[in-house]
């Protein structure tokens, strides 16, 4: 937000205020006609589907081909410009090339060769079991120096970049940087000038973005304190066998939640209200082998776009767990705004100590040099995060959810049996 802006965000979130806004003041109407047309189309599609006796449209949304799922969500994740807003990555609707414009209804992508669907069920089960150790089969790629200007591309080009990255991952497994080479340079750096080269900074940025590539299984504990929330989380994540869980509690506020993903099903559980939501999730890991500069680009409207985050989200690992790509994009994409201060140990991991500035103020963080995990973070807004008790590539318990005593709904709010 700019210095002279007025923060009216408090106005959101209740219907009474929305009613007053609607009745008493202008509401944006530039998209009104398009919205009306879309609403009619969706209503008619829903009516046609119901008439055909297909009552699982919602499930179909999650079962469409892997490529279709990426493209139908428009395959881009918006990141607000650093000067104005949040770094939280969300799916962003985009105008797609005409051949893909029908996808949100669950239809097939006609322009993609059919054989692209088959690898979605085959390749991912093989590559992760070969890649993760530091044996000679490790698939290495060159580190790109992060550019200080973002390039502008069309939406179609962006989708093609993601598609190429997905295909590369399917065929070759996760691409990694040569960690030994770069960590040796960190250790050998005689002073902060030697630490703060574009190369070493780009290494930090890149390994954080791609930290999912550097382990098969992980479990641990993290704490996140922000704006009155004091959340402690235990988590476990097995990328090879496609299950994960997170159990969170905020004792100060009396919250307790959990997420479980296994056997292709996702459960989002609220232990206060004894309610859960469930939907079909992916049984396949979708990885992306992307270049450093492919993660943030501008579209032709001049807005930041980024690639969809890897499948950790559908496997239930939160944006706060130390290997999600949001933070490097929001904090580290501008190499001139942060400095590496030292190499030090944090909670058993060899880390780069980093200090910098972003839209919320000043921050200090510690990044594990071997996997790109965010080990610790503090900012001038009082936010604190810390990752502890890490176990990497050790067996992770497969926790399941017992719905006894809980009321369950699907994502449309319909009760589940």
Q: Map the footprint of another protein across residues 79-108, applying CB under 8 A.
A: 85-94, 104
Identify residues 329-368 at the interface with another protein (CB under 8 A): 330, 360
Rounded CA gap, 369 and 204, in Å? Answer: 7
Choose one: 138-146, 208-216, 288-296, 378-386; the region binding another protein (CB under 8 A).
Answer: 378-386
Alpha carbon distance, N-terminus to C-terminus of the chain: 46
Which of 32/181 has CB closer to another protein?
Answer: 32
The CB-of-113 to another protein minimum distance in angstroms stands at 28
Closer Cβ to another protein, 252 or 394, answer by number? 252
Judged by beta carbon, residue 202 or residue 278, the one nearer another protein is 278
Kindly tell me which of 216 and 268 has the beta carbon lying closer to another protein.
268
- Please identify, among the stretches 119-127, 161-169, 214-222, 313-321, the one whose residues bind another protein according to the rule CB under 8 A: 313-321
The pattern of x and - marking residues 213 through 252 that bind another protein according to CB under 8 A reads: -----------x-xxxx-x---------------------
**Total binding residues for another protein by CB under 8 A?**
85
Return the residue of 75, 120, 200, 259 that touches another protein, per CB under 8 A: 259
User: For residues 387 and 167, what is the distance between their CA atoms, to the nearest angstrom?
Assistant: 32
Taking residues 121 to 150 in sequence order and writing x for each that binds another protein by CB under 8 A, - otherwise, the string is ------------------------------
Q: Counting every residue, how long is the chain?
A: 417
User: Beta strand 304-307 with 296-298: parallel, antiparallel or unpaired?
Assistant: antiparallel
Question: Which 154-183 residues touch another protein, going by CB under 8 A?
Answer: none
What contacts 87, CB < 8 A, 6 or more positions away? Answer: 79, 80, 326, 327, 329, 330, 331, 358
Min dist. Cβ of residue 363 to another protein (A) = 9
Q: Which stretch binds another protein (CB under 8 A): 116-124, 202-210, 254-262, 335-343?
A: 254-262
Locate all alpha helices (DSSP H) within 86-154, ordered by sequence.
Answer: 117-122, 127-130
By C-beta, is 243 or 385 nearer to another protein? 385
**Binding of residue 301 to another protein (CB under 8 A):** no
Site for another protein in 12-71 (CB under 8 A): 12-32, 34-36, 38-40, 42-43, 46-47
- Does the protein bind another protein through residue 118 (CB under 8 A)? no
Contact, 225 vs 271, CB < 8 A? Answer: no
Per the CB < 8 A criterion, the answer to whether 297 and 150 are in contact is: yes
H helices, E strands: number in the chain: 11, 18
Q: Are 333 and 314 a contacting pair, CB within 8 Å?
A: no
Say how far apart CA 356 and CA 337 lie, in whole Å. 6
CB of 118 to another protein, least distance (A): 27
Burial (Cβ within 10 Å: 0-12, 13-18, ≥19) of residue 321: buried
Query: Element (H or E) spanning 392, and its range?
Result: strand 384-392
Specify whether the CB–CB gap between 134 and 172 falls below 8 A: no
CA distance 62 to 50: 18
383 makes contact with another protein (CB under 8 A):
yes
């Amino acid at each position: 937000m700019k210095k002279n802006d007025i923060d009216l965000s408090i106005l959101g979130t209740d219907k009474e205020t929305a009613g007053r806004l609607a009745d008493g003041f202008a509401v944006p109407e530039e998209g009104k006609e398009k919205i009306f047309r879309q609403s009619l189309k969706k209503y008619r599609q829903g009516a046609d589907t119901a008439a055909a006796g297909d009552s699982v449209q919602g499930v179909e949304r999650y079962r469409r081909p892997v490529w279709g799922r990426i493209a139908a969500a428009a395959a881009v994740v918006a990141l607000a410009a650093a000067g104005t807003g949040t770094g939280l990555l969300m799916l962003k609707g985009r105008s797609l090339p005409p051949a893909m414009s029908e996808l949100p209804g669950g239809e097939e992508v006609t322009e993609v060769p059919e054989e692209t669907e088959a690898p979605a069920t085959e390749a991912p089960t093989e590559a992760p079991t070969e890649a993760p150790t530091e044996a000679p089969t490790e698939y290495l790629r060159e580190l790109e120096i992060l550019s200080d200007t973002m390039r502008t591309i069309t939406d179609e080009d962006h989708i093609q970049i993601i598609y190429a990255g997905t295909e590369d991952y399917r065929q070759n497994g996760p691409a990694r940087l040569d960690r030994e080479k770069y960590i040796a340079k960190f250790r050998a750096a005689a002073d902060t000038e030697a630490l703060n080269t574009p190369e070493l900074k780009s290494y930090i940025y890149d390994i954080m973005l791609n930290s999912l590539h550097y382990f098969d299984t992980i479990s641990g504990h993290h704490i996140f304190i922000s704006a009155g929330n004091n959340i402690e989380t235990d988590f476990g994540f097995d990328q090879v066998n496609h299950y994960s869980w997170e159990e969170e509690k905020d004792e100060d506020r009396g919250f307790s939640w959990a997420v479980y993903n296994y056997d292709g099903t996702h459960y989002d559980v609220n232990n206060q209200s004894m309610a859960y939501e469930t939907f079909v999730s992916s049984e396949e890991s979708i990885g992306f082998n992307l270049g450093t500069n492919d993660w943030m680009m501008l579209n032709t409207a001049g807005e930041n776009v980024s690639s969809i985050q890897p499948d950790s989200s559908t496997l239930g690992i939160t944006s706060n767990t130390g290997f999600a790509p949001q933070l490097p994009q929001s904090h580290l994409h501008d190499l001139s705004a942060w400095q590496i201060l030292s190499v030090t140990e944090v909670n058993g991991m060899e880390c780069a100590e980093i200090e910098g500035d972003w839209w919320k103020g000043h921050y200090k963080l510690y990044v594990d040099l071997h996997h790109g995990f965010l080990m610790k973070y503090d900012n001038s807004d009082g936010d604190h995060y810390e990752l502890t008790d890490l176990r990497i590539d050790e067996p992770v318990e497969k926790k399941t959810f017992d719905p006894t005593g809980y009321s369950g709904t699907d994502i449309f709010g319909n009760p589940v049996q």
